[in-house]
Structures are given as C-alpha cells and as structure tokens.
Structure 1
Amino acid sequence: MTTTQRHAGRTALITGGSRGIGRGISLRLAREGALVAVHYGHDHAAAERTVKEIEAEGGRAFAVHAELGVPGDAAALWAAFDEGLAAQEAEPGLDILVNNAGITLPRPIAQVTEEDYDRVFAINTKAPFFIVQHALERLRDGGRIINISSVATRVPLPAIVAYTMTKGALDALTLNLAKELGPRGITVNTVAPGFTETEINPTLANPRIRQMYSDASVFGRLGAPADIADIVSFVAGDDARWMTGHWIDASGGVQL
C-alpha cells in the first residue's frame, strides 16, 4: 500500500495504460494522487476495468481511446484526452506523459516482412514521436516524459531485432527531448524493462522459455508490472527533478 501522495494534483496520460506494465503504472500513479488518463487501442473492457479499479481505491481516472499506428493517431488521442479531461472538470494540461504502448515482433530478421516492419515502427516509434509533438503545448513546465523502452537495446536478442530497433529509436528520442525541454524544467527519461510477466509476450506460455527468462535475472524470476511501475513513479516525481536524459535499467539485472 502506498503511503505518499507524490503525484497529488497532477494529471498523467499512460499510453497502453489498460493492460500489463501500462496498467501497473496507471494504478500506481493513481494511488499516489494523479488523475490518470488510461489510453487503450482496442480493449475497451480492459480500460474500463482499470478505471473502475482505480476509482474503487479512491483514485481518479478516465479512459482514452485511440488506435495507434494509423494516420492521425496522435491527433485522435489528444482529442479524446481533451474531451475526457473536460468531462472530469479538470484543469486543462498535462504533467506526466508515459509512452508505454507497444507491440512485439518475435521474429528473426529473415522472417520479418515489410508489412511487419512498418507496423511495429508505426506503433512503437512513430506514434510516440507525434504523441510527444502534440503534447508539447499541453505539458506544463516542470512536467515529466517517460519512455518505456527495453533492455533488449543493450542486450543482443536477434529473435526480436525489428522490435529492438523501434526501442532504440525511442532511446534516441529521450536524449534529444531532454536537451530541448530542459529549459522548461521538463525531464525526459527512459525506463527499460527486461523479461516481464505480461500478455504482450506470448513466448512466456512455453515453460522452457519462461524458465530461461527467469534465470536471466539475478533475482531468478520474471519482472512484475509493479516492479516497473514503482520505478516510473519515482522518475515522475519531484525527487527525480535532477535526472534527465537517462536510460534506466529496470530488468532485474538481466545478463549481469
């Protein structure tokens, strides 16, 4: 149970905030006082469950629907956000943006089609780029941008090469945004999970692969969404005001 209201009075948007790591982040920030916009692309029921769970715990949240990876996705997302914020009778603007939404592509280079490549880049790289672009006029000075990347950008995993490339681009976005937005007091950081217990990774259904991923961590287990959410909450808070442009390993010591 959280004992601090670290994010009281703040508004946060978490893309892909209804399931997996995104859901964990939504719950954590809401427990610490933030009004949370829970973005989802397709699973309306999951978004509603997350919102209701937040409200049941005394928090505030609303769902934001926008399919990512299609033309006009960023504009559609922010239009839905603005509408939802008005319905909450909340002050316009944003304090915390977490670019979490993404898809995997568990295929080696020889098996990746152009269609596969275009789709994973459209969702994982292009969408957050333009989401940030549209966010700049809404993000308050002193705000936070947190990009969810992957430890795969620092550990060679050829079986997911195209996915890893999308996250490497996101890492580069972090560095450049940190430089550009520093004068406004806005910090920009990357949080990079490792092997985490979420439905985004279908290979976890294989007991052998599951054990291999667990053994990769020095703690001998898979990560949980809450493990990542705790780190995001810290980076989004005032205590991390002097940290920007960082790539934060949230993998549980994978490959140490």
Structure 2
Amino acid sequence: MQNNKVVLIVIDALRFDTACTHMGFLHHLVERQVAARYKVCSEVPSLSRPLYETILTGTPPIVHGVTSNMTVRLSKGQSIFHIAKEHGLTTAASAYYWVSELYNRAPFNHMEDRLQLDTHLPIDNGMFYFEDHYPDSHVFADAAWLMAQKQPDFLYIHPMNVDDDGHKFTADSAQYRNRVLAMDALLSLFIPKCMALGYEVIVTADHGMTRDGDHGGTTHEDRHVPLFVISDAVKAGIKEGIISQLQVAPLCCHLLNIKPAEDMVPLLLEGVFTAKEV
C-alpha cells in the first residue's frame, strides 16, 4: 500500500449538535455513503492550544504539557508533522499562528512568520494568520494554493470564524449557526477539489462552544465535536457511541500509511479497514 495524501481540517469550536443540524453538504456525503461520521469527546481542558497539540500528537495535555492557551513553546512531542517528515513525506498548513508556535517557531513574529515556505521545519510550507476574524474563505484559498503549488502529502487546515462568532454571540445564536452553515458551504467547494486530487479528508474540531459564549469546561457543549472521514479505508455511515479525541492522530497516520508515534493510543475506530482490506 502506497502512502496516501491526507487533508485534516480542524474547525475551531464546532459543536457536534450544530454540525449535525447545520452541515448539509457533509451529511449529504454521509447519506450517499461517501463519508463516515463519529461523535468525539475532546480532552480537557477544552481549550484551543492544548487541543491542537492533542489532535496532532495523539496525547492528552497531562502528557504533552500544553495545558493552557498561555503555554507558548514548541511541541515536545512527536506530531503528525514530525512523523510524516521522518517517513519522507511533505507537510503544509493553512492555520492560526498558534500552530506555527507549536511546530515551527515560537514565539510567532507577526512581521516575519506569516508565510513560511520551503522550510526544513516540521511544517514545510505554512501560511499562518493571526486575526481571529481572518476570513475562513481566505484560509481555504490559502490551502488551495498550497495544494496546487506544493502538493503536500499532509495538509492541515484550521479556520477560526466559528469560534470567533461563538465568543461574540454565544453558541445559542443565529450568528453562530449561520457561520456553521457558511463553513459547510466552503467545504462543499473545497472537499470535492481534495477528492479529485486523491486526498483522504478528515473534518473535526478541537472543542465546542457554550450558551455563555465560551469553552474550557467539561459539559457536552464544551467537549462533544464531530469527526467526518472521507476515505476508502473507512466504512461510510453514522457510527454510534462516543470516541476519544486521541483517535484522530493514529487515524491520520493510518490513512497516510505511516507508523504512529509510540505515545499514540492504538487505533480502535469502528469501520476502519486494514491496509490489506483496502
């Protein structure tokens, strides 16, 4: 089995229930047996920077040590970026600047680090934004440029507007729900492009958003997020039960056909085929 190409899309603060009611395109893919849908319970604290590290290293905050949004340093773990590079694969990211601070350079220099192209760092090619209201449409346009010009094997995409509107207006608002609708519309343009180029696609979130317009706690609103997988290596359809967020990193490694890091948990997702079965 050859290495596959994978796009991992982490939609900041996308609640599971809102994804189920407001993401028509993704659920079209589920209904047509193109995508699988899982319910994920995030690690705690349900904060952004700790959970970026959890998603990309497959380890909980007590292990990776990024326990707060104020923990500004490079990752000390083996992220998917690191492992992909060790296997000779290329990496890219269109993401919030905290991702650069975790894997390329910390602290982020706003005047120098926005574009990081042809580096020999864990993220070979990065386009990083630093305003929470930076348009999601631009994040995906940046990602499309990276796909066309750099052809990465692993591409990480991280839009922020759902989180931004959640903080401004709360999760129980028309603005938050309409932003999720807008995200689904962007995905309806971007995901077919990925599929046409032979990418496996994963869509998930770091954490949810509460009716108070925040996150960080232990409620379902804080922690329950979706996981959509578009891959011939994963059986399509809606999966019952709740899975751990620690499954995302080994799933990425499985789809990339690379050996996961020793600190990652075994991949135990329902419906995942072995390399031989694929």
Same fold (TM over 0.5): no
TM-score category by the smaller chain?
0.3 to 0.5
Task: Give the TM-score taking structure 1 as reference length.
Answer: 0.44
Higher relative contact order (CA closer than 8 Å, sequence separation 6+):
2
Looking at secondary structure, tell me which structure has more helix per residue: 1
Task: Give the TM-score taking structure 2 as reference length.
Answer: 0.41
